[in-house]
Amino acid sequence: MKSEDFEVFGISVESIRNRNESQVIKYMRELIPQFPDFDYCSICVQDVYALSLNQLAPRYVQKGTIVLRKEFQESDFRDVVEGAIEQVLKNRNHP
């Protein structure tokens, strides 16, 4: 997608991110190596990422946002990512 695809009335919304993304990536980097059968192909990595994010309520923020509360514990992210890895290993989306 191009930058202009993320504009509404000339205002960019491209930099608005789901705060869960960075936590999911952190735990994917930590947990995937603990699964020797994980093949590190792009489909499996992307499936774990998408599946993990789909299981967490989104928390969108833009630059300068004040975070008033933390909705998830570190263990929540760990459990979700670990479960997503296990699910992808059981149901690989490729031969």
- Is the pLDDT higher at 68 or at 12? 12
Q: Where are the domains of the chain?
A: 19-90
- What's the half-sphere exposure (Cβ side, CA atoms, 13 Å) at 65? 13
Angle at 14 between CA 20 and CA 71, to 5 degrees: 20
Closest by alpha carbon to 79, among 47, 43, 55, 45?
Answer: 55
In this structure, what are the phi and psi dihedrals at residue 12, rounded to the nearest 5 degrees? -80, 135
> What are 31-78's pLDDT values in tens digits?
999 999 999 999 999 999 999 999 998 888 887 766 655 666 778 899
* Residue at token pair 């923020």: 61
